[in-house]
Amino acid sequence: MTSALFALALLAALAGPIVLRLLRHPGFVTGRDGRLSTSTTLALAWTVILVWLLLATLGYGLTAGGGVDWFQGPEGPLSALTTVYLPLLGGPYAALIAAKAVVGMRVERGSMAKPAPKGTERRPVHDLISNDGGRTDLVDLQYVALSAVTMLYVVAFFLTDVGGGLPKLPAEMWALTGAPAGAYLLNKMAVRGNPVITRVSVTDGLLTVEGGGFGDNPRVEVDGTALPTTVTPSGALTVALPATAPPAFAVVVTAHGLRSDPAPYAPLPEQPSAPLPEQPS
């Protein structure tokens, strides 16, 4: 029990500062568009867990384990490191490196949109299991869910027997991170990115749509009605609203046969003007 409590305290000491740092400055685990990166977050989580396992095993061996001799032998506390744990870590890191390369090439070719976010709002954890449009993605969901279950499996078995060193998990356990990581990477390569709308504004009857992935011949629809669209040099889209357009409406961009998620627009409520100060009589 004492060893398990020590291991939990060590995990808190490792993970706590990292979590606090990421809450304040999440740029380390965000992608090009400012959303939480699934591959980066999972690779970081596995790194923290593996470092924790090694440090906890080292602490136990140098205290209650009997010293350096405890680490020796083919059945020592680190015997499963190369057969189970490094492959568990390898899948997420392979997905991280390959996904960065794939996304970078697709953004440069214009087949994927990664527009920068507007404002400084914090990105929700839902980013981990959603696509660029904010919808839950089944591939991302299975990658996160299976990785989380595997992490809990490793942590629970280690805490039940800290003195046994790294838990002797089946060698096939790497598939619980390797296979989902492979599916995640294939999804990045195969799925064509939908246009993404980040901001909609109206000035003097001219609708401006900002975002990414619009291509060369995009089409803007206002409440389901397609309108003549102009692409500005900055990449934004402009549309002259008809006189009969309602004050509030939904905007959709279609490009390469793919539709963006609807972006609602509503005029800001007028602020009451401040009363003029009374003039002295």
Residue at which a domain ends, from 190, 205, 235: 190
* Better pLDDT: 279 or 236: 236
Residue type, 225: T
Q: Which of 38-42, 115-119, 173-177 has the highest mean pLDDT?
A: 38-42
What share of the chain has pLDDT > 70, as a percent? 83
Give the integer Cα–Cα distance in Å for 77 and 60.
10
Residue 67 CB: number of other CB atoms within 10 A? 9
Q: What end-to-end distance do the CA atoms of the chain give, in Å? A: 83
127 closest CA partner among 48, 214, 33: 33
Q: Which domain holds residue 223?
A: 196-265
- Whether residue 160 sits in one domain with residue 211: no
- Whether residue 239 sits in one domain with residue 177: no
Q: Which of 24-33, 51-60, 269-278 is predicted with the least confidence, judged by mean pLDDT?
A: 269-278
Q: CA of 145: how far to CAs of 24, 37, 114, 141, 267, in Å?
A: 25, 15, 25, 6, 40
Helix, strand, coil shares of the chain, percent, nearest 5, are 50, 15, 35
- Whether residue 24 sits in one domain with residue 144: yes
Residue at which a domain ends, from 159, 190, 221: 190
Q: Are 169 and 86 in contact (CB under 8 A)?
A: no
- Whether residue 164 sits in one domain with residue 98: yes
Indicate whether 14 belongs to any domain: yes
Q: Give the model confidence (pLDDT) of 162-184 as tens digits.
A: 888 888 877 777 788 888 888 88
pLDDT confidence bin for 52, thresholds 50/70/90:
very high
DSSP annotation of 27: G
pLDDT at 232 over 70: yes
- Whether residue 179 sits in one domain with residue 203: no
Element (H, E) at 87: helix 86-109
What pLDDT score does 109 carry? 64
CATH label of the domain that carries residue 259: 2.60.40.10
Domain count, the chain: 2
* Better pLDDT: 52 or 112: 52
Give the integer Cα–Cα distance in Å for 122 and 136.
18
- Whether residue 158 sits in one domain with residue 50: yes
31 closest CA partner among 104, 111, 94: 104
Q: Are 198 and 212 in contact (CB under 8 A)?
A: yes
Average pLDDT over residues 118-133: 66
pLDDT confidence bin for 135, thresholds 50/70/90:
confident
What pLDDT score does 48 carry? 92
- Whether residue 150 sits in one domain with residue 206: no
**Is the four-CA dihedral 167, 171, 175, 177 of positive or negative sign?**
positive
pLDDT at 212 over 70: yes
Q: Give the model confidence (pLDDT) of 64-90 as tens digits.
A: 766 677 777 667 788 888 888 888 888
What pLDDT score does 49 carry? 92
pLDDT confidence bin for 258, thresholds 50/70/90:
confident
Report the C-alpha dihedral over residues 149, 152, 154, 156, rounded to 10 degrees.
Answer: -140
Indicate whether 270 belongs to any domain: no
- Whether residue 251 sits in one domain with residue 155: no
